[in-house]
Structure 1
Amino acid sequence: MKTRSRLVSVLSAAAALVAGCTSVGPDYHLPQNSVMRSPEANGPIARPAQRAVSIGAVPNDWWQLYDDPKLDALVKAALAANTDVRVALANVQRAIAMYHEVDAEHLPQGGVDAEAARAQISGESFLKEEKLPVVNLAAAALSVSYQIDFFGKLARADEAALAAVEASQAALDVARVSVAAETVRAYVQSCAANHEYDIAEEQLALQEKGVAITRKLVDAGRDQPTDLLRAQAQADTLRAALPRFEAQHEAATYRLAVMLGKVPGTLDASATQCRRIPLLTQPLPVGDGAALLKRRPDVRQAERELASATAKIGVATADLYPSIRIGASIGASGVLEHFGQGRTEQWTVGPMITWSLPTNGVRAHIKGMAAGADAALAHFDGVVLKALQETQTSLSAYTRALERDDALRDARDKSRAAAEQNRQLYRAGRAPYLTSLDAARTHANAEAALAAAETQVAMDQVNLFLALGGGWQSSADNDQTSPAVSRSTSRPGGTPALAARSPY
């Protein structure tokens, strides 16, 4: 009982010492000279003159702006079943397991040893010349120890591991953003291919009418055979475009199946039978630079990697100082027949200090960790710059595509009016049929050019949404399988766990 009381006293003293511990190495904070803190990076993204966009916040489920229930269902299914998301989710779970492995170092470490053997012990080991009898031996011991984190090595390791967990969670969000965007892209491409196919068929039908009329004129001697060949060549050219749209539709369908975690070719055909490109029901919200950098998960991932790299400097620095572990053990060892008697009892209590002189490469290791933190900061700045560049580029491409779409829409409207006027002149007998047919073909060509422009606008919309980094928040909030890790775990002695400090 007295020995047990001593053991409790030792552990209580160790816990009290923890309160006076400090953490060596730099405390993490986002450097003042980082790109993210610059005013230019936090300003508005869209200019007032840019149309079809607003400074409103990007919604979590941005694809719902298309008001297409089928598309919404496809994106939700992809976020639940996509293989990239499953890989990222497994990586988060692995990072959490490693965090708990590091976190366990804060707890008392204990062990139990037990042994029984029949042995012949050497007499000379006891300075005896006679041979000792064969005896039955037994030994058992219970030991417990606790590392006093005087210099914060465990705390810094904990901080680095927690930041690594948060970085892996951000990587999971990166995967979700990409999956949502690529699912929408595949769906839009399948709709666009169907739409352009329908317009190409209309062009071909009009051209075939022209071929039939030209053939009649040639047979009547009112036209040349070369005119018929030219008309037939134009029809063949239009017919040759149809397989291209079919291939685009099939490729989009296969890609959509993969996004849903299905084997290509097994997706229900009804999922991609839309004949019109989905349209936004409101101006595209883009927010501002500050909101962008907080929303983009790749920026958050790079920042958490910087926090982890900074904490590792403290882990390496702590190796310059002694490691102190305090513990106790109690047990018995001796002849089996006497086991449990006072003469076999043994116990120990006290601290153990280990200290390696800093001639074993510790300082070089610290410099290496510091260089790693510098590299992480440079990477973080690069990710921030890339995020801004991608957003501005996508926004510029989107607005220019809208301008081209407007011009082609005007051309389509004018060609439609011209075709209608020529149709009325033909019905009134004031213009030949071929003139009316040429006007109809011009209108069909304008429709085809406009359809291609609408496809480009839709693709640029998806690219802009992808650059804005939305789409992971609600899926992360609603996904009950998303792992999480506590940022404040109780420590022996009441010392709180260090949490990685994010600027967000």
Structure 2
Amino acid sequence: MFVIHGCMLGPDYVPPPVSVEDSWIYGEDKRLDSLEAINPLWWQIAFSDPVLDDLVAQAIENNLELRSAALRALQAQQVLAIAVGNQYPQVQQLDGLIDRSKYVRSGITGNLQNEYYLNFNLTWELDMWGQLRRLVNSAAADFEASLAEYDGLLVSIIAQVAQAYINIRTVKRRLEVARENIRTQREGLRIAEVKFRAGEVSALDAEQAQTLLSNTEATVPGLEIAFQQLKNSLAILLGMPPRSLNEILSVRPTVPQVPAITSIGMPQDLLRQRPDIRQAERLLAAQGELIGVARAELYPNFSIGGLIGAIDIRGGQLNGRSDAWDLFLEFDWDILNYGRLRNNVRLQDATFQQLVSDYQQVVLQAQVDVENAIVAYLKSQEQQFFYKTAAMASEEAVNLSLTQYVDGQVEYNTVITTLISNLQQQDILVIAQGAVAANLVQVYLSLGGGWQIRDGLTPLELLPEETIEDMLWRTHYWDKFLSE
């Protein structure tokens, strides 16, 4: 097979310049390491939790949105294959006839006549101006953009699973804190009732204690609702019914701890690391090729082709075989286009320029996302420190107020105040601890880490076996594709 190529009408695509900072605003913080790139398996390094590792693996295998993205990438791959095939000769028409006949006229029987013929037309569009090559390049860039789209969704799904898991453990810890406070408040109620029966205080103390206890107990169902709803959300990410998760997920009532130092790399790493940036750049490249395609339409298209046929008639007037062939060169040139083709060139160029702005905006937004995530992560750690100090003090205040109440040194209003404050402080502390872990996940999400586990796999290899079997059942045309 030989291919005839002419010149390629431009412009040739060159990635546009983008503005990227040299360092992060909080890059000098001792809790961050800007010199080392993030680990693709960041969730394993950051939390060292086998349950989370298993949940992420299940999500990668079964998440339906991720599967849909893989199928979109597979579609883009087939579009690219079609564009490649259009560069080569095409059979436009293939027809033939096999006929056996016998004629009877005026009582006279004629001879048997056998007639056979086979014709086919072959045409080949010469890529004189690079239009077909530009279309291939555009389809290739679209395919790469579809892989980047899959990578972006993969990063998002991993982060969503991690955040859902953190939220589940946070709520479970909040439930435990509420129940711990309920036990303390029940003890306060018991003490108030004992003092009332002893005639030391009025019934008001016991009623106040009961009111506080009942209000605290009422928070438990609300937290249980949140706990189940979070598990249901996680089940969707794992691509399984909610009930199935009850047997899989048995988490400790503690909030995951974060590492002392987190590797975040440099801002320049975002250009190759963030999938949405790569997707925007590849879409831009695909559009850049379409400018050349539009320009090629201003010039004539040339095609070569021919007709090859064979006719064989036996028993008729034409005996033996007759061969026929025809070779032609044709061109078409849309001269009277009334500016339509030039307008299309301008349209494609304006679309390209818009995508340049979109690409630059994505790069800018990516840097902002990281800066926002970093400051939220670092400052939430500082909040956690203060809330922890407050929670320790409130717990000590409860112990002191109960002791002093037993000794008659303070009124029960003081006990009520310390019990309410302790419940609030302990709950706030757990929420703050969960926020630190969740903000760390947001840092990794903004940095675009995790997609590298897909690197090197084809779209078909990203699909589960049962999906491939379904496709094979509908059509056998995947057989050859699978063997390549």
**Pairwise TM-score range, normalised by the shorter structure:** 0.7 to 0.9
Per the alignment, residue 501 of structure 1 pairs with none
Specify whether residues 362 and 118 from structure 1 end up closer, same or farther in structure 2 by C-alpha distance, changes over 3 A only.
farther
Q: Is 1:24 the counterpart of 2:24 in the alignment?
A: no
Q: Aligned partners of 2:176 and 2:125: how far apart in 1?
A: 74
Per the alignment, residue 115 of structure 1 pairs with 97
Deviation for aligned residue 1:284: 2.2
Per the alignment, residue 232 of structure 2 pairs with 254
Q: CA RMSD of the aligned region, Å?
A: 3.2
Per the alignment, residue 404 of structure 1 pairs with 383
Q: 1:212 aligns with which of 175, 185, 190?
A: 190
Per the alignment, residue 374 of structure 1 pairs with 353
Deviation for aligned residue 1:216: 2.3
Q: 2:431 aligns with which of 441, 449, 452?
A: 452
Per the alignment, residue 488 of structure 1 pairs with none
Q: Aligned partners of 2:68 and 2:120: how far apart in 1?
A: 42
Per the alignment, residue 67 of structure 1 pairs with 48
Q: Aligned partners of 2:139 and 2:274: how far apart in 1?
A: 22
Name the stretch that deviates more: 109-118 or 443-452: 109-118
Q: 1:145 aligns with which of 115, 123, 129?
A: 123
Q: Aligned partners of 2:140 and 2:318: how far apart in 1?
A: 46
Specify whether residues 363 and 106 from structure 1 end up closer, same or farther in structure 2 by C-alpha distance, changes over 3 A only.
same
Q: Find the residue that maps to 1:266 and give its secondary structure.
A: helix
Q: Aligned partners of 1:22 and 1:406: how far apart in 2?
A: 67
Q: 1:78 aligns with which of 56, 59, 81?
A: 59
Q: Is 1:57 the counterpart of 2:42 in the alignment?
A: no
Per the alignment, residue 136 of structure 2 pairs with 158
Q: Aligned partners of 1:440 and 1:252: how far apart in 2?
A: 29
Per the alignment, residue 474 of structure 1 pairs with 453
1:42–1:289: 8 Å Cα contact kept in structure 2? yes
2:256–2:434: 8 Å Cα contact kept in structure 1? no
1:293–1:387: 8 Å Cα contact kept in structure 2? no
Q: Note the residue ranges of structure 1 that are not aligned, 5 or more in a row.
A: 1-10, 120-133, 484-504
Identity of aligned residues (%): 26
Q: Find the residue that maps to 1:375 and give its secondary structure.
A: helix
Q: Is 1:284 the counterpart of 2:262 in the alignment?
A: yes
Specify whether residues 466 and 340 from structure 1 end up closer, same or farther in structure 2 by C-alpha distance, changes over 3 A only.
farther
Q: Aligned partners of 1:31 and 1:466: how far apart in 2?
A: 25
Q: Is 1:311 the counterpart of 2:296 in the alignment?
A: no
Q: Aligned partners of 1:474 and 1:193: how far apart in 2?
A: 31
Q: 2:372 aligns with which of 383, 393, 414?
A: 393
Name the stretch that deviates more: 385-394 or 189-198: 385-394
Which deviations, in whole Å up to 9, do the C-alpha atoms of 1:428-478 show, x marking residues without a partner?
A: x79789789976775554332211211222222222221111111124457
Per the alignment, residue 93 of structure 1 pairs with 74
Deviation for aligned residue 1:320: 0.9
| Amino acid across the alignment from 1:196 | R
1:206–1:437: 8 Å Cα contact kept in structure 2? no
Q: Find the residue that maps to 2:40 and give its secondary structure.
A: coil
| Amino acid across the alignment from 1:393 | N
What pairs with 1:271-350 in structure 2 (closer than 5 Å)? Answer: 271-333=249-311, 337=315, 344-350=322-328
1:204–1:235: 8 Å Cα contact kept in structure 2? yes
Deviation for aligned residue 1:143: 3.7
| Amino acid across the alignment from 2:123 | S
Deviation for aligned residue 1:422: 7.3
Deviation for aligned residue 1:207: 1.0
Specify whether residues 447 and 389 from structure 1 end up closer, same or farther in structure 2 by C-alpha distance, changes over 3 A only.
same
Q: Aligned partners of 2:120 and 2:382: how far apart in 1?
A: 79
1:109–1:144: 8 Å Cα contact kept in structure 2? yes
Q: 1:383 aligns with which of 353, 359, 362?
A: 362
Deviation for aligned residue 1:159: 0.6
Deviation for aligned residue 1:212: 1.6
1:187–1:272: 8 Å Cα contact kept in structure 2? no
Q: Find the residue that maps to 2:73 and give its secondary structure.
A: helix
Specify whether residues 136 and 461 from structure 1 end up closer, same or farther in structure 2 by C-alpha distance, changes over 3 A only.
same
| Amino acid across the alignment from 1:462 | V
Q: 2:159 aligns with which of 181, 185, 190?
A: 181
Q: Aligned partners of 2:87 and 2:319: how far apart in 1?
A: 36
Specify whether residues 386 and 255 from structure 1 end up closer, same or farther in structure 2 by C-alpha distance, changes over 3 A only.
same
1:218–1:228: 8 Å Cα contact kept in structure 2? yes
What pairs with 1:191-206 in structure 2 (closer than 5 Å)? Answer: 191-206=169-184
Per the alignment, residue 221 of structure 1 pairs with 199
Name the stretch that deviates more: 225-234 or 187-196: 225-234
Q: Aligned partners of 2:448 and 2:346: how far apart in 1?
A: 35
What pairs with 1:33-48 in structure 2 (closer than 5 Å)? Answer: 37-38=18-19, 41-48=20-27
Deviation for aligned residue 1:482: 3.6
Q: Note the residue ranges of structure 2 that are not aligned, 5 or more in a row.
A: 102-111, 464-484
Deviation for aligned residue 1:326: 1.6
2:149–2:275: 8 Å Cα contact kept in structure 1? yes
2:169–2:251: 8 Å Cα contact kept in structure 1? yes
Deviation for aligned residue 1:420: 6.7
Q: Aligned partners of 1:340 and 1:303: how far apart in 2?
A: 65
Which deviations, in whole Å up to 9, do the C-alpha atoms of 1:371-418 show, x marking residues without a partner?
A: 221222122122222212222112222222111111112223444556
Q: Aligned partners of 1:343 and 1:49: how far apart in 2?
A: 88
Specify whether residues 334 and 453 from structure 1 end up closer, same or farther in structure 2 by C-alpha distance, changes over 3 A only.
same
1:44–1:287: 8 Å Cα contact kept in structure 2? no
Q: Aligned partners of 1:368 and 1:288: how far apart in 2?
A: 37
Kindly tell me the number of residue pairs found equivalent between the two proteins. 449
Q: 1:102 aligns with which of 59, 83, 101?
A: 83
| Amino acid across the alignment from 1:202 | E
Q: Aligned partners of 1:47 and 1:281: how far apart in 2?
A: 17
| Amino acid across the alignment from 1:368 | L
